[in-house]
Structure 1
Amino acid sequence: MSSPVFDPMNQTILSDGQRVQLTPKAFALLEQLRASTGQLVTKDNLLNSVWPHVCVGDAVLKNTIREIRRALQDDPRQPRFIETVHRRGLSLGQ
């Protein structure tokens, strides 16, 4: 499996030869994780940076992460890219 290629201009991911369009919020969340590659990004930090001045809950965050994982073909049980740190946040692997 090759490393994914991120296209910020078109908000797409090229993963294993397939180009996948992300929603704007999913791409914004992915960009937040990419800016802190290898570091824990808290749920609160993600919620505040991707949905500023809007009250959204964990379900919205989980659905957005699911969209990104689907695009990356990343299994949450055996993640290659996005690791969940229980009750704390997420980390994008290096």
Structure 2
Amino acid sequence: MRVLIVEDHEELAQTVAVGLRREGMAVDVVLDGVAALDRTSVNHYDVVVLDRDLPGLHGDEVCRALAGSGHPARVLMLTAAGTIDDRVTGLGIGADDYLPKPFAFAELVARIRALTRRSGQALPTVLVHSDLRLDPATRIATRDGRRLPLSPKEFAVLELLMTAGGAVVSAEQLLERCWDEFADPFTQTVKVTVSRLRRKLGDPPLIETVPQAGYRL
């Protein structure tokens, strides 16, 4: 899952980003509305966590632009003003959810995950493939009842492969969805991560390499 945080309070933005990365998400951070539109024009995001009161280009305008462009990201709007009128306005301009400041980090995580479940086709709460089970909410993956000691990136790659339903996922797609903007597109990190994931999954092998295409379960 890839998330863009748009928040002009840099310390808050970085603190939230660190927490979300620990939850296995790929996170990019920008501090103003213009930069937000720049990032969303070139990157795929599942969720945009958008502060409403931004300098330069107001969060409302960013939200309207995303909704008007048909960008697939869900928008979770943040604001220090938590009145009913504010929430109605925010939802009316295209936001998918609304969270007043200050907020509990656990609630932010829960709302982000809830928004991704609304995107695209409905997925089961627990993903299952053969004897492999993955629960995105608890961040637990097991095979044949054995809990797998996965790193956040390994968990993210496995989750994306499982949600693909047997379709091939390219290395470029894995890099785009599971790593942030600082990932080197020419790196071997995807190949290395898949290799480590294979070892942890054990036998019989579950991840197939499709030459010149990518990976699939």
Q: TM-score, normalised by structure 2?
A: 0.36
Aligned with residue 24 of structure 1, among 152, 158, 164: 152
Question: What secondary structure, in the 3-state scheme, does the structure 1 residue paired with 2:148 have?
Answer: strand
- Contact 1:25–1:64 (CA<8 Å) still a contact in 2? yes
Instruction: Answer with 1 or 2: which has the greater Rg.
Output: 2
Match for residue 191 of structure 2? 62
Query: Structure 1 stretches (4+) deviating beyond 6 angstroms?
Result: none
Match for residue 87 of structure 1? 212
Is the aligned partner of 1:47 residue 2:172? no
Deviations 1:16-65 (A, max 9, x none): 34212211011111111111021011111111111131223452112211
Q: TM-score, normalised by structure 1?
A: 0.75
Q: Percent identity?
A: 37
- Count, aligned residues: 87
Matched residues in 2 for 1:39 and 1:9: separation?
23
**Alignment root-mean-square deviation, CA:** 2.0
Closer, same or farther: CA 69–28 of 1 in aligned 2, 3 Å: same
Which structure dedicates a bigger proportion of its chain to helix?
Answer: 2
Q: Which has the higher contact order (CA 8 A, sep 6+)?
A: 1
